[in-house]
Amino acid sequence: MSNKMLKVNIQKELKEFDLDVDFELKKGRLGILGPSGCGKSMTLKSIAGIVNPDSGVISLTADDETVYFDSNKKINLKPQKRNVGYLFQNYALFPNMTVEENIGIGVEKENREKTVPEMIRRFHLEGLEKRYPRQLSGGQQQRVALARIMAYGPDVILLDEPFSAMDTFLKEQLRLELLNSLKGFKGFSIMVTHDRDEAFQFCDELIVLDNGKIIAKGETYEVFENPKKVQVARLTGCKNISKVEIIDDHHVRSLDWGLEFEVSKEITPNITHIGIRAHDFAFCQQDDVNVINTINSTIIEMPFEWEITLANGLWWKYDKQIHEHEFKIPKYLKVDPKNIILLEE
Amino acid sequence: MTDWSPIFISMKTASLSILITFFVGLIVAWALVKMKNDTAKIILDGIFTLPLVLPPTVVGFFLLWIFGVRGPIGSFFIEFFAYKIAFSWPATVIAAVVMSFPLMYRSARGAFEQVDSNLLDAGRTLGMSEWNIFWKVSFANALPGILSGGILAYARGLGEFGATAMLAGNIAGQTRTLPMAVYSEVAAGNMGEAFNYVIVIVFIAFIVIFIMDYVTLRKEKQWRHD
């Protein structure tokens, strides 16, 4: 495990922008988070060899190095030779083949008899061997697609927004299933998503991509806690972001909300915005620090939280029980100075 | 006594021509789906579809112009093989192939284009060879569309009249196909004889379409519904 590495450094000219991605993966699961059309899928497809980058290097080091792509050395390994599993958004199961045949397609003939039943068991597909993909539920289809990839025995698994077209209930269940299925997998996996919950749940490391460029890179927790950039904060789910004017080392004035805030961290001159997560407000007295008046707020009831929009546009989310239906908005709210996220454009 | 030779000639012509049309149509359709140059694609598509749009006699005129004794291919065959294509049995096959080709080609192309390109990429990432991907994924999933194109092309070949008359003529026992025979009998005032041919052609057409439709529907049902 220690000397394994996946190196990706690719450039490609696209219609809307240029893709320029450079990262190294040494262990486990990587997430690529970004809005739709930011080049995430293109990156994944380049690794699989379905799409060719204009220039760069893609290589996998397991015991020895396999170069998938190198524009300088004119190396471009066919997808068939890369040993990369790709989980497509629509699973891409072959509709003309049964579950068994789908799983066995990537396995050498002489090993099929052994491998296929093993995968059927491992992915709980017993009894469905002779069914066609159309006769399966979404969850079963995903398991067949994963079984097909695992049967092939790839070094890298690429997951292309596997839950984007699903309702919430199915999504949560399948996320868990996917996570469990991938637990035993010793290679690398990369998941592309625009959903911060998915990224948070699935990935050890995270890359945030916007317009083809990497705007944040690091441990998932770290990226979420300290997004540093406005766009990263937005993608990691920070609801309140405002342009600011710096007053001194620990005070800023928000231009969007018309408020002044005290900040624990030292404010450097490159800071242009602040962010406040919707859950980071607390009840307080009028004379506290960073106090916000809640006059003229609107409130929306959700099953497990109240969503309150303050008159100045700030979002506040407050957890509740399912049977609670009344909530009296406090007169004043505060934000702890250490909960204010400093951001740059 | 009815002369049954038109039936044999028609069956022979339709069978050989569907064999040619089917495979050539398939290959051409696949090649055009794969083609990257859009201008070339449009031009080629126009050429291959033309026989469907033009009056059959106009197609026959062009065929005569190419395969006739003074035509480029016709004169070549006479010079090197001492074989006259025009007004021979192979001419009925040429006419049927050219006239039925657009139906086969267009159906197959449409069917190939309907196949989700993710399936092909999935095949590649699972290590399938391009040959296997073509047969087991593209062809297999386009099969219902390809077969229905084959049915149409077969029916078109069986019923070919105008271009055949121009290139192959109407020589009894040689190039007189069923549609020709019907025409000749009616022209000669033998409605009874013509009716015999009509019965046979309707029967054959129905049987063929029934068999192929049955195969197509069954296959399709298997994977599309529960």
Question: What confidence tens digit (pLDDT) does each residue in A120-178 have?
Answer: 998 889 999 999 999 998 888 988 999 999 999 899 999 998 877 667 777 777 788 88
Nearest to B222 by CA among A313, A341, A119, A97: A97
- Average per-residue pLDDT for chain A: 88
The tokens of A211 are what? Answer: 């317009």
Specify whether the CB–CB gap between A343 and A277 falls below 8 A: no
Of the CA atoms within 13 Å of residue B67, those in its CB half-sphere come to 25
Please give the share of chain A, as a percent, with pLDDT higher than 70. Answer: 99
> At B220, is the pLDDT very low, low, confident or very high (cuts 50, 70, 90)?
low
Residues of A in contact with B225 (CB under 8 A): 134
Query: How far is B187 from B206, CA to CA, in rounded Å?
Result: 26
* CA-based max dimension of chain B: 67
The confidence score (pLDDT) of residue B214 equals: 80
The confidence score (pLDDT) of residue A123 equals: 87
Say if residue B221's pLDDT is above 90: no
Nearest to A45 by CA among B164, B122, B69, B150: B122
Residues of A in contact with B123 (CB under 8 A): 94, 105
Q: With 0-12 CB in 10 A as exposed, 13-18 as middle and 19+ as buried, what is A63?
A: exposed
Residues of B in contact with A86 (CB under 8 A): 121-122, 125
Residues of B within an 8 Å Cβ radius of A: 116, 118-119, 121-129, 136-137, 140-141, 143, 222-226
One-letter amino acid for residue B113 of the chain:
E
Is A90 within 8 Å of B225 when comparing Cβ atoms?
A: no
Is A92 within 8 Å of B118 when comparing Cβ atoms?
A: yes
Residue pairs spanning A and B at CB distance below 8 A: 73
pLDDT per position as a tens digit, A68-126: 999 899 899 999 999 999 999 889 999 999 999 999 999 998 999 999 999 999 888 99
> At A295, is the pLDDT very low, low, confident or very high (cuts 50, 70, 90)?
confident
Is B125 within 8 Å of A134 when comparing Cβ atoms?
A: no
> At A1, is the pLDDT very low, low, confident or very high (cuts 50, 70, 90)?
very low
One-letter amino acid for residue A33 of the chain:
L
Higher-pLDDT residue of A65, B108: B108
CA distances to A100, B132, B214 from B222, in Å: 15, 21, 12
- Between A26-35, B85-94, B115-124, B161-170, the lowest mean confidence (pLDDT) is in A26-35
Say if residue A228's pLDDT is above 70: yes
Give the residue from chain A lying closest to B130, CA to CA: A80
Nearest to A252 by CA among A229, A269, A227: A269
The tokens of B201 are what? Answer: 């052609």
> At B1, is the pLDDT very low, low, confident or very high (cuts 50, 70, 90)?
low
What's the alpha-carbon Rg for chain A, to the nearest Å? 24
pLDDT per position as a tens digit, A241-280: 999 989 998 999 988 888 889 998 888 989 999 999 988 8
Say if the ipTM goes beyond 0.90.
Answer: no
Please give the share of chain B, as a percent, with pLDDT higher than 70. Answer: 96
Please give the share of chain B, as a percent, with pLDDT higher than 90. Answer: 64
- Average per-residue pLDDT for chain B: 89
Q: For chain B, what's the residue count?
A: 226
